[in-house]
Amino acid sequence: MDRRPFTEIGVSALIALICAVFFVQAWKLPPGKFEPLGSGPVPLWTAGIVIVCCLAVIIGALRSLRGKDMGQAMQAEFSGGHPMGGVLVLGLTTAYVLVLHLKLAGFGIVTFAYLALLMLGMEGFARKRIIPALILSAVAAFGAQYIFTEIFVVDLPV
């Protein structure tokens, strides 16, 4: 797989920043009924784990850049190619958050649609990828909904 260290650093930093905001906001939530799980600790731990993972990716990307000419590395990474993947991720993620925020549909359905469209879009909407993408999206979305609502007792957008 071709490494793109500048992109990895930028995306990971953005995700870490977003998770830091979530962390601060989750700190204000009341404790759950079933401590240590519940509406307060679950987002705190989730945001914290994602931030740690982002830092690991940033460190790995910085290591891959060690000893290289930054100008040449940047030119090699950003020359050619098509930005459609990034535009797709940004657009779908914005729509996903907006639909959840406005409570237009439930978490499971919105997450299923988001993941399916994201997977299919990144694969160029190839016919042979439709069934696997739908299966993976359903398992991830409705599995996460079950785990959050039934096990962690977290209120999700309905």
Query: Which amino acid is residue 5, in one-letter code?
Result: P
3 and 72, same domain (yes or no) = yes
pTM across the whole model: 0.64
Answer whether residue 1 shows pLDDT above 50. no
Structural domain of 69: 1-81
73 and 123, same domain (yes or no) = no
Q: Where is 15: in which H helix or E strand?
A: helix 5-27
128-154 confidence digits (pLDDT tens):
999 999 999 999 999 999 998 888 777
38 and 86, same domain (yes or no) = no
For residues 55-62, give the mean pLDDT. 96
Beta strands in the chain (DSSP E): none
Answer whether residue 111 shows pLDDT above 70. yes
